Amino acid sequence: MVDAVSRDLGISRDQARTKLVRQAQAQRVAEALPDRVRANSPGWWIDEDTGMLVVAVTEPAAADLVRALGGEPRPVSRSRDDLAQLSRAVGELAGAGVPGLAGWGVDSIGNSVVVRVNPAKKNVATQQFLARVGELGAGVRVREVAASPEPQAGDVRPGNPWFPGYEGNCSVGFAAVDASGGKHFLTAGHCTNDRDQPAFGASGGQNRIGTSNVGGARSVFAREGDMGVVAVTEPGWNLSASVNTWGNAPVAVTGTTEPIVNQAVCHSGVASRWQCGRVTAVEQTVMYSSGPIDGMSFTTACSLGGDSGGAWVAGDKAVGLHSGGYPTCGPGNAPDQSLFQPVNEALRKWGLTLYTGGGNTGDTLAPSAPSDVRATSTTASSVTLAWTASTDNVGVAGYQVYNGSTLAATVQGTTATIGGLVAATSYSFTVRAKDAAGNVSPPSAPVTARTTDGGSRTFRSDTDYQIRDYQQISSPIRSTTTGSTAQIRVDVTAQHTCVEDLDIDVLSPSGRWYSLHDFGGYVCHPFGGTRSFTVPVSYEQAAGTWTLYIRDGGPGDIGYLDSWVITL
């Protein structure tokens, strides 16, 4: 790790070693930031000179908390909500895409939102978009980029690839286990898009590892992210926590961390092998040719086709899964040369635990189950839980909180707040304890908690729109409700001669797209009356503008939208 960081960041080995030690401390400060600071801060980053964690703050009390943890507070004028609102505004202006638009996201250091544009692909529509972006004010900046990133896949190469079926190779990410001990590895979502696809360790149908995207619910390549799971089911395949560094000493991961701006990171992939750089931006939206992807982290490290899904590490911590980058691995250290999907999001989504090989320590005794789990407070969108600590022969390292069968939070203490819940809804929670060797306790007794009533959560639009051939309509609804939602119900009342010619989508206030109905089919059937669609969403804030989009992709149709209703 020291050698690679020295090589790719152009610093001495001593400087690289010092940088990694300092950033490990900064990562610990970031993990210890109180929820109050996290909720209001527009971002944090590692200072390139001192190695300290710098936290942007908008109030004196938050500055005192940051100093107490050993961080450096930095007063700024725009809050987290201010920047989130500007980012949503850019997303609404971008719609389904603008020529040359490579993506956008918050610049924590600059306390602004940066819009990335490839000037080689600009046209009149791009100029109109940029003019409207300029009207958003000084909080939004436009930066030109040399190329637009793409999700990467590649040809068969020697090394340690994995193959989705008989397609070109991708790269293995991190090994993980589920609550029952089942073996898996994480990789890119665009590598796992096919349901129940055989996964091979070599091409030609040899050396099967297991099955990709089991059941069709273990892959995401959409606004939510670029991440997927391969189940390791075949005999002879063992999990490893050692990252392949292609001829150098292996790096064994001991846990996970979140990406931080200016963090030194390295990635391993079958094409570009072992490459390092620094994180330049987090929580970014990237415009792939297939559509926008949220939550990406950008880096200066180069990459190549075939690296997709590979492991990104910060020191000895897993930090991300390779998603894409520029089509060449040339010099220049562009600030957005490669991008990755944060690994913790993938682990949380599918209730998995990073495999660290901790069982080799000889500790095989699991902690006792947590007791006296109780709900201490509730709101329209959250439940706060507390419990009595577990016991262990060596020591409890943390707790996993489950909402039903879904991992909702991982904490070190004996309290947790679970957000993103739906108002006036009952939830069942259990808690498991985990020790440093990876042993997990039995679940606690379940506790049921009900969120409070958040007020009216149904909104409608009665504005009529004519649906014309090869054109798109958009109908906005403004929600004034509070809290979050994990599911939406959309009732569309319309008339159309061929539902197979329609794409129907909803754009959330955060800029995420959710598909209700997809274009396709050889025989036309009429869309008449009201059709209802229920869609899980990524724990969206309910307040804001929700927009229904209907596009007619075929000829000779007649139709109109009469009204639509959304229940959050």
pLDDT of residue 151: 63
Tell me how far apart the terminal alpha carbons of the chain are, to the nearest angstrom.
47
pLDDT of residue 394: 64
* Domain spanning 458-567, CATH architecture: Sandwich (2.60)
Look up residue 287 and give its two tokens.
């415009």
pLDDT of residue 454: 61
493 within 8 A of 564, measured Cβ to Cβ:
yes
Distance, CA of 107 to CA of 127 (rounded, Å): 22
Burial class (CB within 10 angstroms; exposed 0-12, middle 13-18, buried 19+) of 173:
buried
DSSP conformation class of 205: S
Distance, CA of 411 to CA of 219 (rounded, Å): 26
Look up residue 55 and give its two tokens.
């936290």
Distance, CA of 369 to CA of 400 (rounded, Å): 11
Tell me which of 148, 272, 308, 510 is the catalytic residue.
Answer: 308
- For the chain, what is the mean pLDDT? 86
Residue 213 CA from chain centroid, whole number = 17
476 within 8 A of 547, measured Cβ to Cβ:
yes
pLDDT of residue 125: 86
Active site (annotated) includes residue 226: yes
154 within 8 A of 270, measured Cβ to Cβ:
yes
Tell me which of 8, 107, 226, 557 is the catalytic residue.
Answer: 226
pLDDT tens for the chain, 568 residues: list them. 898 899 888 899 999 999 999 999 999 899 888 888 888 899 999 998 899 999 999 988 889 889 988 999 999 999 988 998 999 899 888 876 788 888 899 999 999 999 999 888 888 888 888 999 898 998 999 988 877 676 654 433 333 678 888 777 889 999 888 877 788 999 999 999 999 998 887 654 557 888 999 999 999 999 999 999 999 887 777 888 888 888 777 788 888 999 999 999 999 988 888 899 999 999 999 988 888 899 999 999 988 888 899 999 999 999 999 999 877 676 555 777 899 999 999 999 999 999 887 543 445 678 899 999 999 888 877 899 999 999 877 677 788 999 988 888 888 789 998 887 877 788 999 999 987 667 789 999 999 998 876 666 789 998 999 999 988 999 999 988 877 787 899 999 999 999 999 999 999 988 888 889 988 877 888 998 889 998 888 667 888 899 999 999 888 888 999 999 998 8
Burial class (CB within 10 angstroms; exposed 0-12, middle 13-18, buried 19+) of 234:
middle
Q: Residue 35: which residues within 8 A CB-CB, separation 6 or more?
A: 417
178 within 8 A of 186, measured Cβ to Cβ:
no
Measured from the Cβ of residue 307, the count of other Cβ atoms closer than 10 Å reads 33
Distance, CA of 69 to CA of 86 (rounded, Å): 30
Q: If DSSP codes are grouped into helix, strand and coil, which group holds residue 216?
A: helix
pLDDT of residue 4: 87
Place of tokens 């509070």: 482
| Topology (CATH) of 80-148 | GMP Synthetase; Chain A, domain 3 (3.30.300)
Measured from the Cβ of residue 158, the count of other Cβ atoms closer than 10 Å reads 6
Active site (annotated) includes residue 515: no
DSSP conformation class of 8: H
Burial class (CB within 10 angstroms; exposed 0-12, middle 13-18, buried 19+) of 559:
buried
Structural domain boundaries in the chain:
80-148, 149-356, 365-450, 458-567
Tell me which of 184, 190, 267, 322 is the catalytic residue.
Answer: 190
Q: If DSSP codes are grouped into helix, strand and coil, which group holds residue 99?
A: coil
pLDDT of residue 333: 52
| Topology (CATH) of 149-356 | Thrombin, subunit H (2.40.10)
* Domain spanning 365-450, CATH architecture: Sandwich (2.60)
Distance, CA of 277 to CA of 333 (rounded, Å): 8
